[in-house]
């Protein structure tokens, strides 16, 4: 998750956290080009449908596609740009692909993901030879005993589990001063648009890998911002589903009242395809991919999340104008009256649930060095040269002091956070008869800084995250070559409407482009 969301040190709408260093970059930039064109890749930007066409025609097999992605991971992940987006490749990936090729040859095609290589975040259990560690060296040892529910469904759908992606260690829930995308096990994930800049987090590796074409599609997880921020900052599409749309069993937790996994893809269509196949009740979201979906749509501007960066304002103005040109009705200047209280309640909820949920999860694992949050804190102290090299574990230590899920303060905070956030969204939508709310997903990314940690700018993940409601981010343009996303969010279970609107915006703008793996952007 993004720690910014509940450790705010600046006022909403005009925070000074943002981009003092970046504001000058917007004025004048010199790009340092790579010596090799890493965007020169046979499968570059291919969609699930296009890959299926190649397999159906016999142009490529799943095994050949899988091998091409494995070769690309080898080229870009640890050599070349050293993206470090993939923490581990699946030693069984080619065998899985060959089995799926045999099924296809015999006439058994399981669905739209049959033979499609997928990368998943390294906090999602796989009952195979791969580790599930949340990026922590404390969790290295014995693999998880079983697949998470969504991984079982992914296998049943015929996907090829290509590997695990690196992440902000412990899903960015260890320190207030961490560097997004850094883990003790995997090192630092880098942004493929500019390698000296942050990929955001905590689904950093999935965001960077999908953007860099290391896989066809990926899975991230979110507590507050961890799908949408790395999607926006890496120039891809991300869907944070309604809480409960995807089953959360088998995922290393932060908070059972906010955690969810979700798809991260280069197109809305690909994200929607995976969203439906892994839903608790399989759903076909492709029927909502309507290029004319913005016509007569009533869209509200969530102004609490604007005003942090002048260049972002220009991109948002252009996005809003494009929606108007496409027939949308825009309702401006909508505010959440109690949003500051949400943040205060969220912090209490997350700390309490993290301790309880993590301790419960660790009981499902055997052969590890740690069996509780207490053990984990001590492990990090004993291995400070690797785990605490750049930042501490003050979130762990504060969570350890919480009193459990029977604590009246926790119970009250949870009820209040849900009530205020859900009513905040629903009241605005009822009052103005809205189909969705919109806000910038992110500002342009910041330079990686292990000494001082992240310096986030703006974002808008909080309403959907705290309420448990859905959100979709789509590329909205670029500032100094760095991607910025726009988020569509709304009521619980409104994924069909959000997909329709996001797809129509995507088709009207077509902002997505492959990254250039620049070494830096320099004034």
3-class DSSP string for 122-181: CCECCCCCCCCCCCCHHHCCCCCCCCCHHHHHHHHCCCEEEEEECCCHHHHCCCCCCCCC
Angle between helices 93-105 and 62-73 (to 10 degrees): 160
Report which of 467, 476, 517 is spatially closest to residue 231, judged by C-alpha positions. Answer: 476
| Apex 216 CA angle, 212 and 222, nearest 5 | 80
Do 18 and 457 meet the contact criterion of CB atoms below 8 Å apart?
Answer: yes
Q: What is the pLDDT of residues 193-223, one digit of tens each?
A: 999 999 999 999 999 999 999 999 999 999 9
Which element (helix H / strand E) includes 83? none
Q: What percent of the chain has pLDDT over 70?
A: 93
Per-residue pLDDT tens digits for 302-342: 999 999 999 999 999 999 999 999 999 999 999 999 999 99
* 243 φ, ψ (degrees, to nearest 5): -55, 125
**How confident is the model over 46-76, as pLDDT tens digits?**
999 999 999 999 999 999 999 999 999 999 9
What pTM was estimated for this model as a whole?
Answer: 0.95
- In whole angstroms, give the CA distance from residue 503 to residue 16: 33
> Are 143 and 131 a contacting pair, CB within 8 Å?
yes
Strands (E), 357-463: 436-440
**Phi, psi (deg, nearest 5) at residue 120:** -125, 150
Tokens of 34: 């790579």
Predicted confidence at residue 79, as pLDDT, reads 86
Per-residue pLDDT at 12 exceeds 90: no
User: How many CB atoms sit inside 10 A of residue 4's CB?
Assistant: 26
What's the CA gap between 180 and 454, in Å, rounded?
7
Query: 261 is written with which tokens?
Result: 């996994």
Token pair listed for 234: 């890496």
Distance CA 221, CA 121 (A): 7
User: Burial of 397 by CB count in 10 Å (0-12 exposed, 13-18 middle, 19+ buried)?
Assistant: middle
- Cis, peptide link before residue 202, omega less than 30° from 0: yes
DSSP helix/strand/coil, 77: helix
Q: What are phi and psi of 496, to 5 degrees?
A: -55, -45
Please name the residues in contact with 297: beta carbons below 8 A apart, sequence gap of 6 or more. Answer: 323, 327, 328, 329, 435, 436, 501
Number of Cα atoms under 13 Å in the Cβ half of residue 444: 26
The answer to whether residue 10 scores a pLDDT higher than 60 is no
What mean pLDDT do residues 361-384 have?
Answer: 97
Rounded Cα distance between 302 and 331, Å, is 9
Both tokens of residue 12? Answer: 């909403």
pLDDT digits (tens, 9 = 90+) for 463-514: 999 999 999 999 999 999 999 999 999 999 999 999 999 999 999 999 999 9
The residue-averaged pLDDT of 108-133 equals: 98
Q: What is the pLDDT of residues 419-462, one digit of tens each?
A: 999 999 999 999 999 999 999 999 999 999 999 999 988 999 99
pLDDT of 23 > 70? The answer is no
Query: Which domains does the chain show, CATH number per domain?
Result: 3-35+45-510 (3.90.1300.10)
**How deeply is 407 buried, as exposed, middle or buried, from its count of CB atoms within 10 A (0-12, 13-18, 19+)?**
middle
Return d(Cα 455, Cα 12) in angstroms, integer: 15
Q: Alpha-carbon distance 454 to 297, whole Å? A: 37
Please compute, for residue 471, the number of CA atoms within 13 A of its CA located in the half-sphere on the CB side: 36
| Per-residue buried b or exposed e for 472-495, using 16+ beta carbons within 10 Å of the residue's own CB | bbbbbbbbbbbbbbbbbbbbbebb
Q: Which residues contact 39 (CB under 8 A, 6 or more apart)?
A: 213, 514, 515, 516, 517
For the chain, give the mean pLDDT: 94
For residue 497, give the H/E element and its range: helix 495-509
> Residue 33 has what pLDDT?
65
Active-site residue list: 121, 202, 226
From 369, 356, 348, 116, select the one nearest 219 (Cα to Cα): 116
């Amino acid at each position: 998750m993004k720690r910014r969301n509940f450790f705010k040190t600046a006022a909403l709408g005009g925070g000074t956290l943002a981009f003092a260093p970046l504001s000058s970059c917007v004025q004048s930039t010199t790009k340092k080009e790579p010596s090799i064109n890493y965007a020169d890749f046979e499968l570059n930007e291919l969609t699930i449908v296009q890959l299926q066409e190649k397999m159906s025609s016999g142009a490529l097999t799943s095994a050949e596609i899988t091998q091409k992605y494995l070769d690309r991971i080898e080229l870009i992940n640890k050599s070349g740009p050293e993206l470090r987006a993939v923490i581990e490749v699946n030693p069984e990936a080619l065998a899985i692909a060959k089995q799926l090729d045999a099924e296809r040859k015999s006439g058994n095609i399981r669905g739209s993901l049959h033979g499609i290589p997928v990368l998943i975040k390294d906090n999602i259990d796989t009952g195979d030879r791969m580790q599930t560690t949340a990026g922590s060296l404390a969790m290295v040892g014995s693999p998880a005993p079983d697949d998470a529910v969504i991984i079982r469904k992914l296998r049943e759908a015929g996907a090829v589990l290509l590997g695990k992606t690196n992440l902000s260690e412990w899903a960015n829930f260890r320190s207030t001063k961490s560097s997004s995308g850094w883990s003790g096990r995997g090192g630092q994930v880098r942004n493929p648009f500019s390698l000296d800049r942050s990929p955001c987090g905590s689904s950093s590796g999935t965001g960077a890998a999908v953007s860099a074409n290391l896989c066809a599609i990926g899975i991230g997880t979110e507590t507050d911002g961890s799908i949408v921020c790395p999607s926006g900052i890496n120039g891809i599409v991300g869907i944070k589903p309604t809480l409960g749309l995807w089953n959360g069993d088998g995922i290393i937790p932060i908070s059972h009242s906010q955690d969810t996994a979700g798809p991260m893809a280069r197109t809305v269509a690909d994200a929607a395809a995976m969203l439906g196949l892994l839903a608790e009740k399989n759903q076909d979201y492709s029927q909502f991919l309507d290029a004319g979906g913005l016509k007569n749509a009533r869209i509200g501007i969530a102004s609490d999340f604007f005003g942090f960066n002048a260049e972002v304002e220009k991109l948002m103005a252009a996005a809003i104008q494009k929606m108007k040109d496409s027939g949308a009705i825009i309702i401006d200047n909508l505010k959440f009256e109690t949003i500051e209280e949400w943040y205060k309640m969220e912090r209490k909820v997350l700390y309490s649930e993290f301790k309880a949920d993590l301790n419960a999860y660790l009981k499902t694992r055997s052969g590890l060095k740690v069996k509780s949050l207490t053990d984990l804190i001590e492990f990090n102290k004993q291995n400070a040269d690797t785990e605490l090299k750049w930042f501490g574990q003050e979130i762990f230590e504060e969570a350890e002091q919480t009193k459990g899920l029977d604590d009246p303060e926790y119970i009250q905070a949870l009820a209040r956070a849900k009530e205020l956030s859900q009513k905040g969204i629903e009241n605005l939508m009822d009052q103005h008869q809205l189909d969705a709310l919109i806000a910038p997903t992110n500002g342009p990314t910041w330079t990686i800084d292990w000494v001082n940690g992240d310096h986030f700018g703006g974002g808008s993940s909080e309403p959907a995250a705290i309420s448990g409601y859905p959100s979709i981010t789509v590329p909205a343009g670029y500032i100094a070559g760095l991607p910025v996303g726009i988020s569509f969010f709304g009521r619980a279970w409104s994924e069909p409407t959000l997909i329709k609107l996001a797809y129509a915006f995507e088709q009207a703008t077509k902002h997505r482009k492959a990254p250039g793996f620049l070494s830096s952007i320099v004034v």
